[in-house]
Amino acid sequence: MITRTAALRAAGVAATVGSIFWLAGCGPGPTAHTSPKPSKVVAGCTASRAQSQVTVDATSAFRFVPATVCLLVGGTVTWTNTTTNFDHTSTDEPSLAASGSDATVPSGGHGWNLKLPSGRSAHLTFNKAGVYHYFCIPHETLGMLGVVVVVGGS
């Protein structure tokens, strides 16, 4: 979508990050090898409760609010840095994490690394169900962690 690309560029996010991510949803995808859908086991996130658009604030208290979101397959999460003086990131890359459990990607999914300068936003569309643990690079050890649970799809 033009609007998404424009938004990513406006946020200073490399368009390729999103492109790689979107491509993940283009193919038929593995169906025989995926783990059971987390809809009944993670944070009460079922398809009936999941949202298609969620905004997560990256705050001056070094937290993602809400820390856990329940998203439908194909839904979009928008991260907004609500501070005026802190730079945050939304990152799901194990190689960049102090703790591996802070960066998890479901089978067939892809991680990301979005810069969130103060006052800016960036968003991603999730096309693969599963549980994504992510973090903020400079504030991971302060507990700035988040979870995106993606459910639904066929």
Shortest CB 136 distance to Cu ion, Å: 3
CB of 135 to Cu ion, least distance (A): 8
Nearer to Cu ion, 50 or 114 (CB): 114
Q: DSSP states of 84-128 as a string?
A: SS--EEEE--GGG-SSGGGSB--TT----EEEE-TT-EEEEE--S
CA atoms within 13 A on the CB side of 66: 11
Nearest residue to Cu ion, by Cβ distance, number only: 136
Q: How far is the CB of 62 from Cu ion (least distance, A)?
A: 6
Residues 84-103 that bind Cu ion (CB under 5 A): 88
For Cu ion, the binding residues in 118-147 under the rule CB under 5 A are 136, 139, 144
User: Which candidate, 90, 83, 75, places its Cα nearest to that of 134?
Assistant: 90
CB 103 within 8 A of CB 111: yes
Please report, as residue ranges, which positions from 30 to 89 form the binding site for Cu ion (by CB under 5 A).
88
Q: Which residues bind Cu ion (CB under 5 A)?
A: 88, 136, 139, 144
